Amino acid sequence: MAVFECIKRMIYMCILVLFLFGFIAETRIAPTTVDDDPEEVASMVSLSIQNSIERKLRQLQGSSLSCATGNSIDDCWRCDSNWYNNRKRLADCAIGFGRNTIGGRDGRFYIVTDSSDDDAVNLKVGTLRHAVIQSEPLWIVFQRDMVIQLKQELIMNSYKTIDGRGANVHIANEACITIQNVTNIIIHGLHIHDCKPTGNAMVRSSPSHFGWRGMADGDAVSIFGSSNVWIDHNSLSNCADGLVDVVMASTAVTISNNYFSHHNDVMLFGHSDSYTGDKDMQVTVAYNHFGEGLMQRLPHCRHGYCHVVNNDYSHGWGIYAIGGGANPTINSEGNRFVADLKRYPDSSEVTKRTSGDKLEWKNWNWISQGDLFLNGAYFVPSGATGANSEAYAKASSYAKAKKSSLVVAITSSAGALTCRKDHMCTSN
């Protein structure tokens, strides 16, 4: 105890000495900038003292004050230049319907050292596939930059985080990620692109089980019969089917801070108009940047509840932005919708109803609150309860909308970040 007290006192002394040195050095030069009116000199000196005290205080408190962006996920962890040693902090930072997702927080770290994927049944230690099928919780990280070309779908087991921070990791050109019949998955910091249909093969899904997989569609991330899933800060583009699909009674999903580009059917939530198992589906889409070359389903929502909040639609949409069928609830808040009428002259309407007719649509609860519409973009709302429902209040408390004027700043580092040890992560 006494030793700790002593060390603590020494640290305080050092801080005090540094503080005084800085203070003297800065005040000394201040008066030379004004002429000799004594009152002015006095007030300059006092101002200078005040400034230097404030500056020192900010330095002592670390950088946490100056890096806040209003992005409540990033503000929770990104101000920490020691992210490398505090990786699991991320697991406490989700918002929205997937806010309770812990991924592999309570498990060991697993370091992927081998980018190969030669056999989807007999797995090599050190590969991503060997990591994700394990039964125990794992926080999976990468030893170095790598491009992983998966021969078959990467079938994930529960309680896993794939954390790409600190390496430039691409899952590309072949199969991609399947989150099926599991819970608690975090996917963070990956580049996932050019995914292709694969299948008609045996694939391992746990240490004790492998089975026959038919053809997969070629989604970047397919979420099927799963809950508590958080897809954050990934760069997603150009796949054969969807970029993120949420189907077959999946729920408690948050899709945040991703950069989407160059793709047709971006996000499908809800398997089909007739599959009512998706009535309980709840998905939050927050802080994403919808960039160039996107056509439709940003997202498309069926049956369940879709909260679309503080996203930037900066490059228009070829067909529609937010759509849905089979009476979904769509709650659009604080987004920035910029139509691109040069490229897509017929696509100024944000919304599209893809089943039913006008009579039915009257009862579909589609709300727009605080959205910003530019270049002629417009949203066609519908529904009786509007913003008065209990579900609305809940969704909006899990992911509180910021003003749409802040959206450009909030989404400015969407996509996979560049993270170096001992430095704050930055956008590319």
Q: Which is nearer to ligand NAG, 210 or 260 (CB)?
A: 210
Distance CA 227, CA 230 (A): 9
Distances (CA, A) of 76 to 186, 207, 374, 377: 16, 35, 31, 33
In the DSSP assignment, the letter for residue 153 is: -
Contacts of 272 (CB under 8 A, 6+ apart): 302
Structure-token pair, residue 385: 């309860």
User: Rounded to the nearest whole angstrom, what is the least distance from the CB of residue 205 to ligand NAG in the complex?
Assistant: 5
Closest CB to ligand NAG among residues 132, 285: 132
Nearer to ligand NAG, 204 or 263 (CB): 204
Catalytic residue flag (residue 297): yes
Contact set with ligand NAG (CB under 6 A): 155, 180-181, 205, 225
Closest of 192, 170, 91, 86 to residue 425, by C-alpha: 86
Q: How far apart are CA 337 and CA 407, in angstroms?
A: 10
Q: How far apart are CA 256 and CA 307, in angstroms?
A: 11
The structure tokens 């170096």 sit at 420
Least distance from ligand NAG to the Cβ atom of residue 155, Å: 5
Tell me the C-alpha distance between 397 and 419, whole Å: 30
Q: Which is catalytic among the residues 78, 129, 204, 297?
A: 297
Residues 148/124, Cβ–Cβ less than 8 Å: no
Kindly state the smallest distance separating residue 217's Cβ from ligand NAG, in Å.
15
Query: Least distance in Å: CB of 202 to ligand NAG?
Result: 12
- Please identify the residue of the shown chain whose CB is closest to the bound ligand NAG: 181
Q: Is 180 or 332 the residue whose CB approaches ligand NAG more closely?
A: 180
CB of 267 to ligand NAG, least distance (A): 21
Q: Closer to ligand NAG at the Cβ: 225 or 386?
A: 225
CB of 80 to ligand NAG, least distance (A): 36
Task: Check: CB of residue 176 under 8 Å from CB of residue 150.
Answer: yes
* Residue 346 CA, distance from chain mean position: 30
Q: What 3 state SS string does 26-95 have?
A: HHHHHHHHCCCCHHHHHHHHHHHHHHHHHHHHHHHCCCCCCCCCCCCCHHHHCCCCCCCCCHHHHHHCCC
| Shortest reach from residue 154's CB to ligand NAG, in Å | 11
Q: Is the peptide bond before 328 cis (omega within 30 degrees of 0)?
A: no
- Judged by beta carbon, residue 162 or residue 414, the one nearer ligand NAG is 162
Q: Which two tokens stand for residue 369?
A: 């609150």
Distance CA 309, CA 334 (A): 6
Catalytic residues: 297
